[in-house]
Chains A and B, each alone.
Chain A
């Protein structure tokens, strides 16, 4: 397939998606729109984790930490000084926190940049570690971020967190950022840099022997991933309009990891499909937590059952379909046309 055709089809797909959103905006109820929003944000987060883990082989469990940084920075910037006056009741905010104010787009970018900066700072010492150790150390980083958020009342309002964050994050913003994320990561992976990242994942020692500055590329992938994790966190904060340190527990990282593993480590299209599937499933599973009426018998809802089913699903995937939905393959226009032409013949 020629390059021009691919670009045309990509544009058509984006327009179709835009049309769908435009229709959805008016005809869906608020709950469904919220799920669509969450799908977009989860895809952003999962794509960024897949870049770090699936394509570069860096086992990072620190996504919740980057998200927290993005969410806090963005929230501080989009809340008006008056709002912050009302909000900081434990202790008054620092002056520079109190007076900082930026439009939404700039605030989201600032959140992403702050997360990326944190990625560089923690990546610098940690990325020399082997896979398991890196996982546990990045998990430690996320935990440190959370403890700091809990103990800096003048910056983060301590355990109370923020309420009433302006809800700018609508379908357009979320899916817009989703598109940007996808575009940047696809371009990054298609470039020579992408090949180097995959080489590092497949055999780090060999890549080093070929003269690749392994560390620099790892740091690049890690901080780009951190940037989009920060963006995802920022959008999430504005979507939910409330954040507190408890939100950024390891469970959050776990949900994103689940999407990446289910979609296939090293497959962007798999990540997108799993992002949609798992977000919907997580919502749908709320059914098991509510009372169910079964042929006249009232089955009591079981709180917590949702995560039981969810974690069981992760174990099943890793035991029986280790490579996830797509493995390391991608869905492309070419493979789609092949499927259709086979159908005709």
Chain B
């Protein structure tokens, strides 16, 4: 393998990794606050991509507008799902909300199958994303630069929100101790809604870029990336935003490099992340940057 090839693989893994990272952030934020694995998150990824497709084909909107609207609509949907399916279960055993989220996930997926049909649809890609730039034997699609750059921008905005704004302070407070935050006057429900909104917006953005990269839409497209992103979140230490980013990038890197160096193993690609998950959980149950969870007695 020469250097040019290696650089190309690196860029690919950066693209894939940042897509995982964007989804992983949503899992990690919700888990950090509610201790809930939101299975419906991967359906938000899928819906975001479909909404853009609709905006362009039915609404004849230009790309950036369609993308902004799709992200906003999906984020709203994420908030609604929380209000309808998780909020009534805040005081219930945690497993109830988890089952509810599995139900929501299946519901949205099947609604998508009913409305959009199960057949994969092709995605129209804007021309400027497709013309490859070739320098020094490295063939780069603008897409492979666009995706990590946009992801980076979104993550910087997120970090600004979480660490520099009052709402972010509220999020961090709730993730430490929800009851005390409530007593201290933190508007808990509004902040949880905001968290769902932001997390879902990132998942939608990721789904849209995923659809551009593998130009295809189908109702089940969120499932595998969703699981992998969850694994990335666990890998980095669930509840930690930098952890989710590192986990996502690491998973993208491992996946691309495994397939690049051992093409024979390509068939096992989807199982690979799960093996990694099980290994990580065995060695370090709280992930790379995860905090130690104390045993509750």
Contact = CB atoms under 8 A, between A and B. Distances in A.
B285 interface: yes
Interface string A123-153: 0011011111101110111011001101100
| Interface of A (DSSP majority class) | helix
A312 B281 CA distance: 33
A136 B106 contact: no
B267 interface: yes
Contact of B277 (A130, A137, A147, A302): A137
Interface in B283-297: 285, 293, 295-297
Interface stretch (B92-100, B134-142, B204-212): B92-100
Given A131-B94, A133-B285, A147 B114 contact: no
Contacts of B271: 143-144, 147-148
Given A126-B278, A302-B114, A303-B113, A133 B234 contact: yes
Given A143-B270, A307-B110, A311-B110, A318 B103 contact: yes
Interface in B194-244: 223, 227, 230-231, 234
Interface in B93-130: 94-96, 98-100, 102-104, 106-107, 110-111, 113-114, 118
Nearest to B107: A311
Contacts of B110: 304-305, 307-308, 311
Interface in A231-257: 250-251, 254, 257
Nearest to B108: A311
Contact of B100 (A147, A251, A315): A315
Interface string B11-54: 00000000000000000000000010100000000000000000
| Interface of B (DSSP majority class) | helix
A147 B230 CA distance: 19
A136 B37 contact: yes
Contacts of A126: 278, 281
Range, interface on chain A: 35 or more
Interface string A185-212: 0000000000000000000011000000
B278 A318 contact: no
Nearest to A261: B99
A171 B295 CA distance: 48
B73 interface: no
A150 B267 contact: yes
A294 interface: no
Q: Looking at B100, B106, B107, B234, which has the most chain A CB atoms within 10 Å of its CB? A: B106
A319 B88 contact: yes
Interface string A260-294: 01000000000000000000000000000000000
A148 B293 CA distance: 34
Interface of A: 59, 125-126, 128-133, 135-137, 139-141, 143-144, 147-148, 150-151, 205-206, 250-251, 254, 257, 261, 302-305, 307-308, 310-312, 314-315, 318-319, 322
13 contacts: A126-B281, A129-B281, A137-B278, A147-B267, A151-B267, A151-B268, A304-B110, A305-B110, A308-B110, A311-B103, A311-B106, A319-B88, A322-B89
Interface of B: 35, 37, 85, 88-89, 92, 94-96, 98-100, 102-104, 106-107, 110-111, 113-114, 118, 223, 227, 230-231, 234, 267-268, 270-271, 274-275, 277-278, 281-282, 285, 293, 295-297
